[in-house]
Structure 1
Amino acid sequence: MLVAVASVAVIIAVSALAPRAGVGAPLVLVLIGLGVSFLPAVPALEVEPEIILAGVLPALLYAAAASFPSMDFRRDFGAISGLSVLLVVVSAVVLGFVFSWMIPGLDLAAGIALGAIVSPTDAVATSIIKRLGAPARVVTVLDGEGLLNDATSLVLLRSAVAATAASVSFWSVVGDFVWAVAIAVVSGVVVGLVGLRVRRRLPTPALSTGVSFLVPFAAYWPAEALEASGIVASVTAGLVTGTLSARYLTPQVRSAEKTNWRTVEGLLEGALFLVMGLEFFALVTDVQAEHGSLWQALWVAVVAAVGVIAIRAAFILPLLRLLARRRRRGEEMRGALTTMQDRLDAKLARRDDSRPMTSADAVDVLHAAWPEEDQERRRRRQEQWERRVADHPEEARHRQRLLDRLDQFRRRLTRRVADIDYLAAAPLGPKEGVVLVWAGMRGVVTLAAAQTLPQDFPQRSLLVLVAFGVAVGTLLVQGGTLPWVVRRLGLAGVESPTAADHAAGLRAVVHDAATGLLDGAPARPDGTPYERDVVATVRGAVVREESERDEDAARSDELSAQYFELRVRVIEAQRDALLRARADGTFDSALLSRALDLLDAEQIAVEMRGETL
């Protein structure tokens, strides 16, 4: 107990003081752990890998995924999937050949196993870059890579270990990976949705937050039991929670959950880095007892660390070219897509709403977006629409279904244009590529995965020490120099050129949502209208942002109750508008998150003052 209390105190102190000294807290914690591990009074420490892989990592990755902007994840999914799947596989195979050549008696399968261990970057380790103010898109790609590449590594490691005892075909490895991901995604989605539905029915934020602590493990264990990736399941549950929490949970619950999870994240991350250092002495003594020298492990670790950086650089260079080509192609398409939007809006605005909408009307609207279509294609499009609504012959439902289809089409156009604008405003050029390469640090996952090797695995202690050397070496060298690299490239504290425009646009969205509700003569839940004075006061306080106090907004308890009730309804309308904007992807994700947080804080304050009446 005393050791745990002392460890928490060290983590808190380092996390508070390290940023003031311009040093990453993870680096300091690793160094402290290294120093303490060599003290004579400190026994050799070896933490069971399952504690990290199954007890700590699901919670950390779930929390990271829950705060991850889903629309940015979608936009950069190509780059993220390439780094988290293809790069891990390429790195593992290439390094496998290197390891089997450098380490006597190590076959190719065992070499690939070690390559799979040292190939994935660590989601926790990349937290170092977040405080540097690096470009948001670089952070998004690194975070997304760190969330998903562990699954690729662990599946590949499992297959490589099996191959040391029996032959394993390439297609069996591919099948294992597809199964691991597919089942994990299903498990994560189901658990994430069930968790939100359960939490919505709980009476207090404390109980809801308590359930949220169970969600990552509820997703992890069923997936693992089905030989799928529990890590991917936990990440998927986190993405579902982060995307839908604003619609399922109250502001009080979201605020409490965010605060509690930040505390848990900070302590668990610090504990992992501290444990990395504390385990060093035990690893050294094991290698010395088995091999008599540490030089071979050190030499292999240095070659591996240089190798992962070189392979990463060789992979990212063509990736940047592909992304640049995609950006240019999108910019070329933007004009045509915008024209489609304008024509579609104009055609819908001119349509006669006095009669039901027919399939011919729908095709006529779409034809306005593509006037160059020939008559044959137009005819096929009309037939397609008629088949879609064949099961809905009722006139009203038929019309609504067509309108819904058109609205979906219009939103897809809006989202596509927003994606093009995002990629154009935040390109990944050579400077960003350097940061992506140098920020690919390894961490505790590498060490934990190495310790899952069977006890009879060839030269196990040497391989574990090599993995530890790569993790600690990249963390200290790359992590220690990363602030200098980012500043040298001029990427520290760079604000998006569209930030001011997006901030103004968000204010307009919030203002229009409030005005739309108040202009629509809102009625109370019992159907009675709000008093005019109440509506006028809310309009002054919310729309015109006047500074009058809520307590003075009405002269009686009844009018005060109406006032606070209407204020909450306006906030909810503003939140719905922001969530629609988030789904369309028309604004910066960080600004959207901040705007949603401000609405949550405002609603909490309004409801608290209303409860005192």
Structure 2
Amino acid sequence: MAIVVAAVLSRRTGIATPLVLLVVGIVFSLLPGTPDFELEPDWILLGALPPLLYATAVQVPVIDLRRSFGMITWLSVTLVVVSALAVGAVVHLIAPDVSFAAGVALGAVVSPTDAVAASAIGKRLGLPHRLMTVLEGESLLNDASALVVLRTALLAITAGFSLGDALFDFARAVVLALVIGYAVGHATVWLRSKLADPVLMTAVSFIVPFLAFLPAEEAEASGVVAVVVAGLVTGHHAPRRFSARERLTERTNWLTLQFLIENGVFLLMGLQLESLLRDLDQSNSTVPEVLGLAAVVFVLLAVLRVGFVGVQVLSARRQQPKLDAMRERLDQISDRVDTMEEKGNARTATERGQQRLSQFRRRVARGKADVDYQESEPITARGGAVLSWAGMRGVVTLAAALTIGTEVDERTLLITVAFVVAVASLLIYGGTLPLLIRALGVSGVDPDRQRSEVAELMGDISDTAVASIGPTDAIVIDGQKIDPNVAEEMFGWLDRAREFGGDTTPEALTQASQRMLLQRQFMSLMRDALHEERAIGAYSTAALAQASSLIDAQELRLER
């Protein structure tokens, strides 16, 4: 109930829901008589983290992840490792009682960012798609690198440290996780495509994150990477292997589950404050010491993030001349392929030769699309400023800190510092990020431009489908000859649908737009009539439910 109320307040006030819940949890934890909330780290690392990662990975397009993979790995791997080492060195210098390995453990805990609050703010304010991809992609992978660094640091405290062993364990954990995640993703997609039942498919999808995470962890690999890969594989193949109804049902259920989990963990995070303060009182550390150390760590992380994002922004500017050269090179290759096809020879005349030419053309087209993407959605200085200021830490930071065992000296100090850094980052970054975005004028795609692009895309894929299906008088599907009049009627509907790409102002409504308005009004009147029939009770409940489903499907089609 608190999550739902916080979401309503968030929509009315413009403050991200995680921030509202965090404050509610902190205030509630400090009230007299509030019961203790002890957060077991396994509830987050094994219970909440896998489904959250999977839900995000399924929605991230693989092609967008590939196009921004360099920046994502730079921030999620390199920045995490450097931040952990830098925090370890600084903390050990300021507080000599904290060993360097323990400081690195603290750095590993506070280095990964949580994109939940940033994504909520970015989607509401309409950040460019590429910035959202970088934020979500970074949050998908930085947990894995941070947990591996944390495991290495804790091992160094008890058994010593070896750089060679650490690098080998890191590579082994990633490679094995890739294999497990890829296998689980493909196996579950195949299984779910055979079920042909939205309820069963959704039930299986709830198990997929754990099918990838738990075996990977048992094999001492990265469960986080395995879940992300399984989610990416599922999201990539779902449009072709699952029906629209199945995907819609699954998406609705997962959005609900994701909403409850990701916001619930922020509420639990706030509820931890009182117990952490109590543990701090029982230790040798003081509140000023914790606040001072947390402030130093917070500033250090902010400086490192600004520097690493700045390097990527400068690198993107230097890549511009290379993009022009790459485009010119791709045009030359495309012209050469056209020349080869026009002249023809023994190699290209065969069916296999034509397939190779088609594959080559596809690669060239993909290369041109990548260049267009880099030019149309560059990481500018303003976008870099937004990425730099989106360094919020979340509940994974606190859960990872709680995994530090009692054998580590100053354990309470490290956990409390991590909590203070996470809360400060959420409140400072999350509270001011909307103001920064508005001040910089960073915005996403123009709605009119996006609508025109959709119309153009629909026209292209319609032309391809019409060309592939063949002449109207020779269409045979599953052994059944199609009446040419039926085919011509359908193709005529496609031609009318393209009218939506034109002027859509009220003064210049096309016939297609008028037809759309009429259908919407007709569906609304049918809904009212159905409601009246339900009140009368002359028809069976099953008939009323089926009629309601048919109207729902029609309304969904009109909305699409």
Q: In which range does the TM-score fall when normalised by the shorter chain?
A: 0.7 to 0.9
| 200, 205, 208: which one aligns with 1:212 | 205
User: Distance in 2 between the 1:277 and 1:607 partners?
Assistant: 39
Structure-2 residue corresponding to 1:536: 488
Counterpart check, 1:509 vs 2:497 = no
User: Distance in 1 between the 2:257 and 2:338 partners?
Assistant: 48
TM-superposed CA distance for 1:544, in Å, is 2.5
C-alpha spacing 1:603/1:16, structure 2 compared with 1 (3 Å)? closer
TM-superposed CA distance for 1:511, in Å, is 2.6
Counterpart check, 1:99 vs 2:91 = yes
Counterpart check, 1:169 vs 2:159 = no
Residues 185-224 of structure 1 mapped to structure 2, 5 A cutoff? 185-224=178-217
User: Distance in 2 between the 1:494 and 1:253 partners?
Assistant: 29
Residues 426-575 of structure 1 mapped to structure 2, 5 A cutoff? 426-493=377-444, 495=446, 499=450, 502-517=453-468, 519-521=470-472, 523-545=475-497
**Maintained 8 Å contact 2:390/2:429:** yes
Q: Deviations over 1:186-217 (max 9, x none)?
A: 11111011111110111310110110000011
**Maintained 8 Å contact 1:92/1:115:** yes
**Maintained 8 Å contact 1:183/1:223:** yes
C-alpha spacing 1:443/1:402, structure 2 compared with 1 (3 Å)? same
Q: Deviations over 1:81-128 (max 9, x none)?
A: 111111101111011101111224111111111111111111323323
TM-superposed CA distance for 1:223, in Å, is 0.5
- Aligned AA for 2:201? S
User: Distance in 1 between the 2:213 and 2:39 partners?
Assistant: 20
TM-superposed CA distance for 1:408, in Å, is 2.0
Q: Which has the higher helix share?
A: 2
Residues 584-603 of structure 1 mapped to structure 2, 5 A cutoff? none
| 229, 244, 267: which one aligns with 1:251 | 244
User: Distance in 2 between the 1:162 and 1:333 partners?
Assistant: 47
Q: Deviations over 1:211-245 (max 9, x none)?
A: 00000110001100110010110010000011111
Other structure's SS at 2:117 match: coil
- Aligned AA for 1:57? L
- Aligned AA for 1:439? A
- Aligned AA for 2:322? R
| 351, 354, 361: which one aligns with 1:403 | 354
With structure 2 as the length reference, what TM-score do the two structures score?
A: 0.86
Structure-1 residue corresponding to 2:543: none
Counterpart check, 1:420 vs 2:371 = yes
Counterpart check, 1:181 vs 2:169 = no
TM-superposed CA distance for 1:302, in Å, is 1.2
User: Distance in 2 between the 1:169 and 1:518 partners?
Assistant: 62
Counterpart check, 1:279 vs 2:230 = no
User: Distance in 2 between the 1:428 and 1:149 partners?
Assistant: 20
Counterpart check, 1:37 vs 2:46 = no
User: Distance in 2 between the 1:124 and 1:513 partners?
Assistant: 39
Residues 353-368 of structure 1 mapped to structure 2, 5 A cutoff? 358-359=346-347, 361=348
- Aligned AA for 2:263? G
Structure-1 residue corresponding to 2:131: 138
Other structure's SS at 2:175 match: helix
- Aligned AA for 2:432? T
Other structure's SS at 2:115 match: coil
TM-superposed CA distance for 1:180, in Å, is 1.1
C-alpha spacing 1:451/1:487, structure 2 compared with 1 (3 Å)? same
| 139, 146, 154: which one aligns with 1:153 | 146
- Aligned AA for 2:108? A
TM-superposed CA distance for 1:497, in Å, is 10
C-alpha spacing 1:549/1:479, structure 2 compared with 1 (3 Å)? closer
**Maintained 8 Å contact 1:224/1:230:** yes
Which range moved further: 210-219 or 95-104? 95-104
| 116, 120, 131: which one aligns with 1:124 | 116
Structure-2 residue corresponding to 1:228: 221
**Maintained 8 Å contact 2:285/2:413:** no
- Aligned AA for 1:475? L
| 301, 305, 309: which one aligns with 1:316 | 309
TM-superposed CA distance for 1:496, in Å, is 8.9
TM-superposed CA distance for 1:430, in Å, is 1.2
Structure-2 residue corresponding to 1:12: 4
- Aligned AA for 1:114? L
User: Distance in 2 between the 1:505 and 1:341 partners?
Assistant: 23
Q: How many residues align?
A: 509
With structure 1 as the length reference, what TM-score do the two structures score?
A: 0.79
Other structure's SS at 1:538 match: helix
Sequence identity of aligned pairs in percent? 42
The Cα RMSD (Å) is 2.5
**Maintained 8 Å contact 2:185/2:231:** yes
User: Distance in 1 between the 2:258 and 2:286 partners?
Assistant: 38
- Aligned AA for 1:175? F
**Maintained 8 Å contact 1:138/1:436:** yes
Counterpart check, 1:71 vs 2:23 = no
| 334, 337, 360: which one aligns with 1:341 | 334
- Aligned AA for 1:481? T
TM-superposed CA distance for 1:504, in Å, is 4.3
User: Distance in 1 between the 2:79 and 2:175 partners?
Assistant: 20
TM-superposed CA distance for 1:606, in Å, is 11
TM-superposed CA distance for 1:338, in Å, is 1.7
- Aligned AA for 1:431? R
User: Distance in 2 between the 1:225 and 1:430 partners?
Assistant: 43
User: Distance in 1 between the 2:445 and 2:457 partners?
Assistant: 21
**Maintained 8 Å contact 2:19/2:117:** no
TM-superposed CA distance for 1:404, in Å, is 2.6
TM-superposed CA distance for 1:349, in Å, is 4.2
TM-superposed CA distance for 1:467, in Å, is 0.5
C-alpha spacing 1:169/1:497, structure 2 compared with 1 (3 Å)? farther
User: Distance in 2 between the 1:66 and 1:225 partners?
Assistant: 24
Unaligned runs of 5+ in 1: 1-8, 352-356, 363-398, 551-600, 609-613
C-alpha spacing 1:327/1:602, structure 2 compared with 1 (3 Å)? farther
User: Distance in 1 between the 2:266 and 2:555 partners?
Assistant: 42
C-alpha spacing 1:607/1:61, structure 2 compared with 1 (3 Å)? closer
User: Distance in 2 between the 1:403 and 1:604 partners?
Assistant: 42
TM-superposed CA distance for 1:524, in Å, is 4.5
C-alpha spacing 1:516/1:301, structure 2 compared with 1 (3 Å)? same
- Aligned AA for 1:231? V
Which range moved further: 446-455 or 98-107? 98-107
User: Distance in 2 between the 1:406 and 1:604 partners?
Assistant: 42
User: Distance in 2 between the 1:138 and 1:301 partners?
Assistant: 28
Other structure's SS at 1:507 match: helix
| 111, 116, 127: which one aligns with 2:103 | 111
